[in-house]
Amino acid sequence: MDSKIKSNIEEPCVVYPWEPCHGNEMQMKASFEDNYLDHMSNLKIESNPSKNTLTTIACGISFNVTRNVIEEFCESGASVVIFNFNGLSFEQSRKMVFEIRQGVFNYSLKKNNRVPYSMTLVLDLGGSVITTGSILDTKTTQRVIELSTNAYVYVTNDLEYKFKCTEDRIYVNSDIILRLKTNDRIYLDYGKIELAVIRVDEDEVYCVIKRGEFLGSEKIVHVPGIPVGSTSLSKLDEEKIRTGIQLKVDVILVPGVRNSVFFDHVRKFVNIEQGGDISLYAKIDNSVGLENIDDVLTGVDGVFLNRPNLSMEVGHDKIFLAQKIVLSKCNLAGKPTITYGEYLNSMEVSTVPTTAEVNDLINTVMDGTDCIYLDVTMRSSNKLHCIQYASSLCRQGEATIWEQQLFTELNKKSKPKIEPAHAVSIGCVEVSFKCHAAAIIVITTSGLSARFIARYRPRCPVLAIVNHGKSARKLSVWRNVIALQYIDPIENVWKDIENRTRFAMDFGKRKGILHQGDLVLHMSCSKQNVGFANTMSVFYVSAGDFVNA
């Protein structure tokens, strides 16, 4: 951008000298070492992580969510909410979505300086699942039963026991159990309880309890090696999709994806129902989908890694491998990822998570996820504390990523010939590393340039300034990206770029992202209708506005 933007406040034009970051900030020395051992050995315990969380936080919400809760989510920095329409009528679904949008609107109006907050609305279809029945309440306070290790239990499909589950007989809502053989396994409640089949009778299975635990009502049942659900959308899922389209959700999570053929069928249905502007994410929740991940990635907009479900098939001892495989392949393909791993579940009742939960979340960030999904926010009474704690852990993990190696390897995979927008974005990220930029401002319409930049994992936030709310909300899933909707009318293309840049700078200062003397990269179009951001500039932040470097 050739024209200088004049400050509203008269002040002398000052160009700030470049100063390298101190060695104890954001693990700077370790991040740019040349080999793995030097990187690891130069990590410092006392290093200060960035004050800006780059990883996106997604929160689970229930049907009775209120606008006040959503305001709290926005205040704490969460930019994705995940919900389902299970058991809800259209009016109940509409009311839930209305409460979400009203909460976002209230926060934007009262606490965000009237800047529209980009909160991504994600619909989880749920898909076909096997669950247990309800516990028989023999006492007014009884809500669980104890299945003791080495004891015996019948697992039945007889509807008579749907609301009469006891220590002796457990109901499940599928006849799939009758296809089992001796020594096959049945897992209850995400593997907390393990049953081994002794014999299969006419309408029930007799099992020994290999690993016992307390069991509540309507818990997930998993049978390894036997696919659950069909290879086409159920009527119920089709109806949920129609509801989501009418309520203008931003993302739909498609469960049970095993290959691109099934996913293409879902996309075709969504397009026929006039939902072409909705992003479709494949849920990797089964071993077949994991094996076909390369095929699946060709047609998806993003990936939702469902670790609890997947671990039932690949094993708890190998789920860390599955996570590394999926996240690395998504990073190489440039697909955003949401990872669900029952993170910080102990904070439902405790104010501090376990050491294992802390390490698990940080390792997921280091493996390269874009977004961490916290379903504990559906149950915890202190939702805000859960989100803030997760954000602090994400910052620690982000600071320890070996940035030089990650960028070098991603860059090597971009073999010529690539799109000009792609090439310019790679150059922008490299410049941001070299000059320790505090932020990258991208003036974009579709969000293409912002996605390319985020794909190469800069160390600083990417402020993507877009005109359309839908584009901003879909961008909010990506790591690094802070999507801002600019709603003022366009006067002319050059004045619009100038106004949107000033808008981004003001936002960055107000949120503590930018400070006096910081270096900022700026990406925009050199002329109208170019189609992507093709011009890069560098600015210093001054007390009033900024000066061209």
Residue 521 has pLDDT above 70, yes or no: yes
C-beta separation of 339 from 323 below 8 A: yes
Residue 549 has pLDDT above 50, yes or no: no
Cβ atoms within 10 Å, residue 166: 14
Taking residues 89-117, report their average pLDDT.
95
Residues 132 and 219 sit within 8 Å (Cβ to Cβ) = yes
Of 483 and 112, the one with more pLDDT:
483
Average pLDDT (71-93) is 94
Q: Are the beta carbons of 466 and 476 closer than 8 angstroms?
A: no
Location of structure tokens 């009033």: 544
**Which of 529, 549, 542 has its CA nearest to residue 8?**
542
How large is the average pLDDT for residues 103-108? 96
What percentage of the chain carries pLDDT values higher than 70? 91
Angle at 302 between CA 301 and CA 307, to 5 degrees: 155
Residue 14: exposure state from Cβ atoms within 10 A (0-12, 13-18, ≥19): exposed
| pLDDT confidence band for 548 (50 / 70 / 90) | very low
More confident residue, 499 or 141: 499
Q: List, for residues 215-249, the tens digit of each pLDDT value.
A: 988 888 988 766 655 556 788 899 999 999 999 99
**Sheet hosting strand 535-541, strand order edge to edge:** 481-485, 462-466, 439-443, 519-524, 535-541, 546-548
User: Would the pLDDT of 143 be above 80?
Assistant: no
Q: Report how far residue 96's alpha carbon sits from residue 118's, in angstroms, rounded to the nearest whole number.
A: 18
In whole angstroms, what is the distance from residue 502 CA to residue 522 CA? 11
Range 404-541: architecture per CATH? 3-Layer(aba) Sandwich (3.40)
Q: How confident is the model at residue 544 (pLDDT cuts 50, 70, 90)?
A: low
What local confidence, expressed as pLDDT, does residue 68 receive? 96
Of all residues in the chain, the percent with pLDDT exceeding 90 is 65
Q: Are 330 and 297 in contact (CB under 8 A)?
A: yes
Please provide the average confidence, as pLDDT, over all residues in the chain: 88
CA dihedral 257, 259, 265, 268 (to 10 degrees): 90
pLDDT tens digits for range 241-288: 999 999 999 999 999 899 999 999 999 999 999 999 999 999 998 888
Look at residue 5 in the predicted model and tell me its pLDDT. 42
CA distance 329 to 116: 33
> 418: which 2 tokens?
């690539």
Q: What is the pLDDT of residue 227?
A: 62
> How confident is the model over 1-56, as pLDDT tens digits?
443 444 444 444 444 444 444 445 778 888 888 898 999 999 998 888 888 999 99
Q: Name the CATH topology of 145-222.
A: M1 Pyruvate Kinase; Domain 3 (2.40.33)
CB 454 within 8 A of CB 21: no
Q: Where are the domains of the chain?
A: 56-126+248-400, 145-222, 404-541
The mean-pLDDT minimum among 88-97, 227-236, 347-356 falls in 227-236
pLDDT confidence of residue 138: 59
pLDDT at 497: 86
Length of the chain: 549
Q: What's the CA angle centered on 116, arms 113 and 121, to 5 degrees?
A: 140
pLDDT of residue 115: 92
Residues ≥6 apart with Cβ < 8 Å to 325: 290, 293
Residue 291 has pLDDT above 90, yes or no: yes
CA distance linking residue 416 with residue 173, whole number of Å:
53
Q: Which of 292, 361, 367, 295 is nearest to 337 (CA)?
A: 367
Lowest pLDDT segment from 9-18, 203-212, 217-226, 314-323: 9-18
pLDDT digit string (tens) for 486-500?
988 777 667 888 889
Q: Which fold is adopted by the domain 56-126+248-400?
A: TIM Barrel (3.20.20)
Say if residue 185's pLDDT is above 70: yes
